[in-house]
Amino acid sequence: MNAYMPLCVPTLKGNEWKYVKECIDTEWVSSAGKYVDLFEQNISEYTGSKYAVACVNGTSAIQVSLRLAGVLPGDEVIVPTLTFIAPINAIAYNNASPVFMDADNFYNLDAGKTISFINNETVFKDGFTYNKSTNVKVAALLPVHVWGNACWLDELTELCRERNIAIVEDASESLGTFYKEGKYKGKHTGTIGKLGCISFNGNKIITTGGGGMILTDDEKLAEKAKYLTTQAKDDPIRYVHDEIGYNFRLTNIQAALGVAQLEQLPAILKRKKELFDYYRSAIEDIDGLSLSKVPNYADNNHWLNLLQIDSKAIGEDRETLMQRLEKNGIQTRPVWKLNHEQKPYKNFQNYKIEKANILVENSLCLPSSSNLTNENLEKIVSQLNG
Ligand SMILES: Cc1ncc(COP(=O)(O)O)c(C=O)c1O
């Protein structure tokens, strides 16, 4: 069997067809119907977030959340450079500016450096925090729980509270990741800040084809999120709109997929953990390669596994390894190009970026779909062996 092994594809083997068929049979396919409410309710229960508001995708969920968190045009938002570009674009959609931070060992925002940036490079004046170098208000911090790794937030939340910096978490990749140590023990990623966002894009741990969710414990913010994402209707019958809203609704069909997928999440998480354990023990024995470590302070969803490469030791650089694996039916991908080096963002401030450069150079994302068989895994590892 020589099937191609993509990086991360969904498994749709539960009630997906049944629930979607029901939408079609009942002709409730658009933004009304029982599944949107049910999906919101189920995500709220699963994550422990008091409210969950469905959105057309994760990017728009972040865009709206930043607005709800009080980010105004011209403000600055602290964000990691090592992440998919969507959260940076969401800052730009709000006409705000990113301030780029370095990564820690788990590819996440470096909490220590972020604290030193806030303490040394900003001042607190009249209830707000201002960047000393630009004199601009730092309105929000946008940590991203990349690869499903929980970003360490214990000290940052306190400092941001003192400095009136709102926290909006990008938990797009971390559905299923809960803290198991520290101040937030037992809490789901995305439920620490004022708002948190999840993505249900096709490559995520569960999918709605495309979709997102805004999490918050604040009833007023949840109401406003619903209002803004559904065209800001003040009087839906007479078409009165007092604010500029968005058409960011999730459809009943997508939500039906989501409800079925969420039922599968425990089984998907179990398989993801098996993949991680398999890779870890098999790769341990290969000189020059290692599996990237995950934080021991969280129960990780193991959404995507990352290989760390010592090119000198294996005699092959990342690019050559990627191409060789591709020829053998194994899709791998480098880590994202750092955002402070992307063309639209290279003129924005970045703060002491070091570790992120190293991680980008030596990492390769491994196939991590929950439908990978043990034979698939054996083949991947045998190819890694050279
Ligand atoms: C870290 C991160 N943030 C945001 C997004 C955006 O989500 P979406 O594709 O649902 O807009 C993604 C994934 O696509 C992501 O990986």
pLDDT in tens, 65-75: 999 999 999 99
Nearest ligand 1 atom to alpha carbon 62: 4
* pLDDT for the residue numbered 1: 47
Which pLDDT band, with edges at 50, 70 and 90, does 31 fall under?
confident
Q: Could you read off the pLDDT of 204-218 as tens digits, one per residue?
A: 999 999 999 999 999
Q: How far apart are CA 43 and CA 230, in angstroms?
A: 19
**Residues in the ligand 1 pocket, defined by CB under 6 Å:** 57-59, 83-84, 86-87, 144, 170, 172-173, 199, 201, 212
Query: From atom 12 of ligand 1, which residue's Cα is the shortest distance away?
Result: 172
Q: Could you read off the pLDDT of 267-297 as tens digits, one per residue?
A: 999 999 999 999 999 999 899 999 999 999 9
Range 346-357 average pLDDT: 98
Exposure string of 43-64, with b = 16+ CB inside 10 Å and e = fewer, is: bbeebebebbbbbbbbbbbbbb
Its pTM surpasses 0.75:
yes
155: helix, strand or coil: helix
Residues forming beta bridges with residue 289, ordered by sequence position? 309
Nearest ligand 1 atom to alpha carbon 57: 10
Please state at what angle helix 318-327 crosses helix 374-384, rounded to 10 degrees: 140
Q: Could you read off the pLDDT of 327-348 as tens digits, one per residue?
A: 999 999 999 999 999 999 999 9
